[in-house]
Amino acid sequence: MLIELTALHWIYVAFILLIIGFMVMRRDTSIVCILGIFLIALTATGSLSHSISSIFNSFSYAITELLSTILVISIIVAMSHTLTSTGINDVMISPFRKLIRNPGLAYWTIGILMMVISWFFWPSPAVALLGAVLLPVAIRAGLPALGVAMAMNLFGHGIALSGDFVIQAAPKLTADAAGLPVQEVLDASIPLVFVMGIVTTVTAFYFLRRDLKRGTLQSTSTVLPDSSDNEKPSLLTLAQRRFFAILVPILFVADVAAMTVLNLTGGDATALVGGTSILILLLITLTSHKNKGLEKTTQYLIEGFQFGFKVFGPVIPIAAFFYLGDSGFTTIIGEYLPKASHGIVNDLGIALANIVPLSKQVGAITLTAVGAITGLDGSGFSGISLAGSIAGLFAAAIGKGAATLTALGQIAAIWVGGGTLVPWALIPAAAICNVDPFELARRNLVPVCIGLLVTTIVAMFLI
């Protein structure tokens, strides 16, 4: 099937290359994306006023598509603030202190806890929940602060965030850009996420253990006082904290059970987690702050929303641009595509298939490279729409593997930019452990690169 490429298609391709180039140079891409939206709209409509309006419409469309994700993350962060301020998080984590008796147990216990909590709370709040409580325990067990930061980064901002199985913010962005159902991308990501996670964390632990034996890695952080040794006054009694420490995990486990039994995915699963988080926030705040509960609830929500929009602020312009490549074009600009068009990205994929006989090996390598490059801006999320769009393009050319390629690009982008190699969440983890963020990124570099190499090879067999 022959597709005639128009100026719209070539402008779209040109701006994809520009966006990648700016990311490689570690420059912000917001202006590039806005200019791309304007030029595509101007070329399609020939109207200056319509083109200017399309910029606003594209932002509105992107925010509408991402709103549930922004909301649930904001609410979860707000809830995590209540857990921290009331001391409930200390009680939730205290049983695991008994497991941390040597460096190996410290690394794996903190890492696995970080991964599980990050699936529900997201990594940045999880760093606050875990770091201050378990850092002193891990250091006493012989694991340097740098090792604690690595465990939190690799398991939280790596495994948990790249899969994002519960909140589903990442798979929604990539699935939308690739024109796929969210569940399809989730299913395809499961083997890749765990291959990447196992290879990277085991490799990182090998280097940690080697350097500990050699004596070349030592703790340089200030040992924070253990909260169990110097307990701070709490807004709740010990009995109340224990009650909520049991109740909160039970409620989220109930959410997971409900998702399985009721087959809830995507927006429905996100809504369930978000609603549960709001109820927990209200219950804890009203119990702990009593007559000031109404005002404190609003304060926690404001803090959560500030975090959510700060994180997704850079994502909105780039998502707005990439939504033009698929279903968003008609809503944002109007019925201005060529009559035989299947969407800009699909047209490019079909045209590419007619010109270049791409292989699944080339596709996998390209998506890993594109994902890694888009992560260089330090966001992790701002470029995964690009990865999804290119995955859709390559899958159309190859004739299969859209979900696997999309998941691979998502994993590469988030492992590089989401807080294991380039700052975003890396800096908070480094700060709470009082280590140099550049040293932390350097320690993560080789394990992450080895993990990406192995995961790319595995993806070639799954396509």
pLDDT of residue 34: 94
- Alpha carbon distance 364, 387 (integer Å): 11
SS3 call for 192? helix
Alpha-carbon 411 to chain mean position: 9
15-28 burial, b at 16+ Cβ within 10 Å, e below that, comes to bbeebbebbeeeee
Helix (H, G, I), strand (E, B) or coil at 425: coil
CA distance 388 to 381: 11
Q: What is the DSSP string of 319-377?
A: HHHHHTTTTHHHHHT-S-S-TT-S-HHHHHHHHHHHH----HHHHHHHHHHHHHHHGGG
User: What is the structure's pLDDT at 202?
Assistant: 97
What pLDDT is stored for residue 388 in this prediction?
A: 85
Write out pLDDT tens, residues 137-184.
Answer: 888 888 999 999 999 999 999 999 998 888 888 888 888 888 888 889
Q: What is the pLDDT of residue 160?
A: 92
Residue 60, pLDDT score: 93
The residue among 450, 437, 462, 337 whose CA lies nearest residue 12 is 337
Q: Which residue has the tokens 């087959």?
A: 263
> Hey, where are the domains in the chain?
7-462
Looking at residue 205, its pLDDT comes to 95
What are residue 378's phi and psi, to 5 degrees? 85, 10
pLDDT for position 300: 92
Tokens standing for 50? 């319509």
Tokens 């770091």 found at: 131
The residues, ordered by sequence, that sit 6+ positions from 311 with a Cβ below 8 Å of its Cβ are 73, 124, 381
Residues 6+ apart with CB under 8 A from 230: none
Model pLDDT, residue 139: 86
Residues (pLDDT < 70) of the chain are 1-3, 23, 26, 125, 128-129, 132, 218-234, 265-267, 349-350, 352-357, 376-380, 382-383, 423-425, 428
